[in-house]
Amino acid sequence: MEVKDAIMGRRSIRKYEQKEVEDEKIREILEAAIWAPSAGNTQTWRFYVVRNRDLREKLMKASYMQKQIIEAPVSIVVTFDRDEIDKFYGRRGVELYAIQDTAAAIQNMLLRAYDLGLGTCWIGAFNEEEVASIVRVPPIERPVAIITVGYPAEKPTSTRKPLDEVVRYVD
């Protein structure tokens, strides 16, 4: 698939087929994640793959009952290691670089998943402490997102503001 087709065709999927996702495809998605750029190539991101239904139900509850978490067969919780990024870049690393690094990794995951015929939803609205405890994230890590992965059962559309509204050419 052309990169442009993946960028333009991907949409957030919140309804999924009741069908498992192959381990190999999840591995491909994680492989795409780790090839994202990161500040100083520090790669402080971490990924927790959750297939267990009880755990996903808990994740759904910790995410204000967002049902796509229980509908999709896989959730991937993305975190970063606060200590590691702090060691390299201090406060700017913890507050800015690690957020950008994990976001770049997540976007790679969404695009690769789409390329593999899968749907995803990037979920940011959740209780961090609860999510950390459900997937047993060590205290030095901060959960930043939950990514649901599964075979899509909907074809949503979404629009964008026109370029003119968001771009400024400066000289």
Ligand X SMILES: Cc1cc2nc3c(=O)[nH]c(=O)nc-3n(C[C@H](O)[C@H](O)[C@H](O)COP(=O)(O)O)c2cc1C
Q: What are the residues binding ligand X (CB under 6 A)?
A: 11-12, 14, 66, 121-125, 156, 158
Report the residue number, 78 or 85, with the smaller CB distance to ligand X.
78
Tell me the residue nearest to ligand X as measured from the CB.
124
Report the residue number, 11 or 51, with the smaller CB distance to ligand X.
11
Closest CA to 135 of 17, 27, 126: 126
Count CB-CB contacts under 10 A for residue 100: 13
Rounded to the nearest whole angstrom, what is the least distance from the CB of residue 110 to ligand X in the complex? 8
Rounded to the nearest whole angstrom, what is the least distance from the CB of residue 30 to ligand X in the complex? 19
Rounded to the nearest whole angstrom, what is the least distance from the CB of residue 5 to ligand X in the complex? 14
Residues 6+ apart with CB under 8 A from 149: 21, 26, 29, 72, 73, 74, 75, 76, 113, 118, 119, 120
Report the residue number, 39 or 60, with the smaller CB distance to ligand X.
60
Report the residue number, 41 or 158, with the smaller CB distance to ligand X.
158
Rounded to the nearest whole angstrom, what is the least distance from the CB of residue 158 to ligand X in the complex? 4
Report the residue number, 94 or 121, with the smaller CB distance to ligand X.
121
Closest CA to 60 of 138, 134, 113, 144: 134
Rounded to the nearest whole angstrom, what is the least distance from the CB of residue 122 to ligand X in the complex? 4
Could you give the 3-state DSSP secondary structure of residue 154?
coil
Could you give the 3-state DSSP secondary structure of residue 4?
helix
Count CB-CB contacts under 10 A for residue 94: 19
